[in-house]
Amino acid sequence: MATGTLTAERILEVTEEVLRRYGPAKATVVDVARALGVSHGSVYRHFRTKAALREAVTHRWLGRTEQALEELTAAPGPAPGKLHDWLATLFEAKRHKAGDDPELFATYNVLIDESSGVVDQHVTVLEDQVRRILEEGVSAGEFAAPDPAASARAVFAATARFHDPSYAPTWESETAEEEFEQVVGLLLRGLRP
C-alpha cells in the first residue's frame, strides 16, 4: 500500500488516521506499523518512543492553527480590530473543532495532556503573535502597553475561557458568544492609551 520510502511525514499522516480511527487509548505503534505495511521496528527508526511520535502529531496539529492565525497577525489594519478578530478567530476555530467532531477533538485533548512541552511552545507562539499586534498598536498610538510581552500573556490568559480545551463543553452555550465579547471589550478598553 505504502508508496516509495518510509518517511517521518508519511508515518505522521498514518498515525493521525490511526488515532482518528481507534482513539488515543487504543491506537498502538503496532497499529501504525500495520497501517503502513511495515514492521513496528521501522517506526522506531524515525521516532524514538511512542510518546515522541504522539508529540510530533500534536505539534503538527497545533501548527496548523498557528499558521492560520499568523496570516491574520501579518495582515494590515488597525490593531484593536485586529486583536479582536485574532481572538475571535481563535475562539471560532476551537469551537468549530470541538463541535464538529467531538471524538477527534477529545483525542487531541488527550494528546495535548500528554505533551506539555509541545503545548508550552504553542502557547509561546500564539502569545508572540499577540505581542506583535500589541506593539503595532502601541506604535500607532492605539494601545498603551509598557511591556507588550507581559500584556500579551495577560490577554492570552484572560481569554483562556475561550480557547482552553477544558472549557469546550461550555462553548456551545448561547451566552458564550456574548461573554466572549464582554471579556474582549474589557481587555480592549484596558489597553487604550
Q: Which stretches of the chain bind DNA, using CB under 7 A?
A: 5-6, 25-26, 28-31, 38-42, 44-45, 48-51
Return the number of the residue (67 or 182) whose C-beta is nearest its own copies: 182
* Residue 174 in the binding site for its own copies (CB under 8 A): no
- Cα angle at 187 between 185 and 191, to 5 degrees? 115
Return the number of the residue (102 or 169) whose C-beta is nearest its own copies: 169
Task: Select from its own copies, DNA, none the partner in contact with residue 178, using the beta carbon and a kind-dependent cut-off of 5 to 8 Å.
Answer: its own copies
Provide φ and ψ at 144, rounded to 5°: -115, 120
What are the grid coordinates assigned to 90, written together?
481563535
Q: How far is the CB of 161 from its own copies (least distance, A)?
A: 4
Place of cell 511525514: 9
Q: How far is the CB of 170 from its own copies (least distance, A)?
A: 10
Answer whether 124's CB lies under 8 Å from 172's CB.
Answer: no
Task: Select from DNA, its own copies, none the partner in contact with residue 44, using the beta carbon and a kind-dependent cut-off of 5 to 8 Å.
Answer: DNA
End-to-end CA distance of the chain: 61
Return the number of the residue (50 or 132) whose C-beta is nearest DNA: 50
Return the number of the residue (106 or 158) whose C-beta is nearest its own copies: 158
Provide φ and ψ at 163, rounded to 5°: -140, -15
- Residue 58 CB: number of other CB atoms within 10 A? 21
Query: What contacts 106, CB < 8 A, 6 or more positions away?
Result: 24
d(CA 94, CA 82): 18
Task: Select from its own copies, DNA, none the partner in contact with residue 87, using the beta carbon and a kind-dependent cut-off of 5 to 8 Å.
Answer: none
Return the number of the residue (29 or 145) whose C-beta is nearest DNA: 29
Contact residue for its own copies among 4, 5, 76, 189 (CB under 8 A): 189
Contact residue for its own copies among 70, 105, 158, 177 (CB under 8 A): 158
